[in-house]
Amino acid sequence: CLSLLSESDDGNFILQGTQVKDVVIKPEAPNTLLLDKHADYIAAYGSKKDDYEYTLSEYLRMSGIYWGLTVMDLMGQLSRMNREEIIEFIKSCQHDCGGISASTGHDPHLLYTLSAVQILSLYDSINVIDVDKVVDYVKGLQQEDGSFAGDKWGEIDTRFSFCAVATLALLGKLDVINMDKAVGFVLSCMNFDGGFGCRPGSESHAGQIYCCTGFLSITGQLHQVNADLLGWWLCERQLPSGGLNGRPEKLPDVCYSWWVLASLKIIGRIHWIDKAKLRSFILACQDEETGGFADRPGDMVDPFHTLFGVAGLSLLGDEQIKPVNPVFCMPEDVLQRIGLQPDLLN
């Protein structure tokens, strides 16, 4: 517990108790890994095409498919998904400019271009799309200062720097961009606390830190990170419940089991987190009834949190799950097949 001290009238200090923002895990929360339930949940997700949540999340469908397929592959259940349908869907989402959209009729964007390339890498079918055009699209989004826009409308964010290099790395085409400038821009987003934000001057946030450390890993620049300082900021994300938050004084969320944990792994400091307590938290986020993981215990599940819960457990060493690559959030065996082994700090 933190406490606030304030001066009373006679000049002595008054102690005011203040709670740390956190959740309390109920004793009846799940404490074993229900892999089969999760596989069933994902396999059935989206089969009811008239589902409310499903339809409303069409704007991110490509990423949704990537989350579902990746978690199924990590659980050794990829074969239950409809490969042919998905590949046809991806083909229908590549636009003339080379970029790929989240769904048919939607506009192309770097986020969904990466997700599509990740999916096709899982399926070893990268050539069903026009790879050269994808490369041109990505290259065309780099700005003068080295940053990347998400699409032609110009939003700048270090997330997009990560999307750009991850996409190109998977395609073996990192050399087409101005690497020095790209690195320069990401480093200009490093803050006093060793973390990274969206743009220069933006507050450190675990999601951005994942993107930037992933970026620096792919581009061979991890030595530019202050690993001790950043590692400390990251391990301070762990709350008494064992869960991780995304920045100071926020609630824990299972997806930070990925953003924070993967970042720690990349900078060689994953041992700074209490692994057993984190594992308990992640397991408590499962829904025993429906399968899947929610952001925190008792909430509604979704494929996004299901992937990051399972991926987090994999990073923690759960042997029932395939090893996951902390930079790409894809099974290690897929990256080995591609021949991609980005550096990590030790």
Q: Which residues, 5 to 64, sit near other proteins by CB under 8 A?
A: 5-7, 13, 15, 18, 50, 52, 55-60
**With b meaning 16 or more CB within 10 Å and e meaning fewer, what string describes 206-223?**
bbbbbbbbbbbbbbebbe
- Asked if residue 339 binds other proteins (CB under 8 A), the reply is no
The residue range among 130-138, 161-169, 192-200, 312-320 that interacts with other proteins, by the rule CB under 8 A, is 192-200
Rounded to a whole number of angstroms, the minimum distance from the CB of residue 299 to other proteins is 6
Rounded to a whole number of angstroms, the minimum distance from the CB of residue 83 to other proteins is 26
Residue from 72, 141, 218, 294 binding other proteins (CB under 8 A): 294
Residue from 23, 305, 311, 318 binding other proteins (CB under 8 A): 305
Residue from 198, 285, 307, 310 binding other proteins (CB under 8 A): 198
From residue 77 to residue 116, what is the string marking binding to other proteins with x (rule CB under 8 A)?
A: ------------------------x---xxx-x-------
> Between the CA of residue 114 and those of 11, 29, 66, 296, what are the distances in Å?
59, 35, 9, 27
336: its two tokens = 């080995």
Rounded to a whole number of angstroms, the minimum distance from the CB of residue 127 to other proteins is 27
317: its two tokens = 């060493």
**Do residues 129 and 119 make contact, with C-beta atoms less than 8 angstroms apart?**
no
Integer Cα distance of 79 and 143 in angstroms: 40
- Asked if residue 309 binds other proteins (CB under 8 A), the reply is no
Please report where in the chains the tokens 């270090």 appear, as a residue.
158
- Asked if residue 252 binds other proteins (CB under 8 A), the reply is no
* Closer residue to other proteins, CB minimum distance, 58 or 333: 58
The residue range among 119-127, 243-251, 321-329, 334-342 that interacts with other proteins, by the rule CB under 8 A, is 243-251
* Closer residue to other proteins, CB minimum distance, 136 or 299: 299
14's torsion region: left (phi>0), alpha (psi -120 to 50) or beta? beta
**Site residues (CB under 8 A) for other proteins, limited to 201-230:** 201-205, 223, 226, 228-229
* Closer residue to other proteins, CB minimum distance, 12 or 127: 12
Residue 37: Cβ-neighbour burial (10 angstroms; 0-12, 13-18, 19+)? middle
Integer Cα distance of 37 and 220 in angstroms: 39
The residue range among 77-85, 116-124, 127-135, 191-199 that interacts with other proteins, by the rule CB under 8 A, is 191-199
Residue from 36, 145, 274, 288 binding other proteins (CB under 8 A): 274
CA-only gyration radius of the chain, Å: 21
Query: What is the distance between the terminal CA atoms of the chain, rounded to a whole angstrom?
Result: 33
Integer Cα distance of 263 and 278 in angstroms: 15
Give me the residues paired with residue 324 across strands: 331
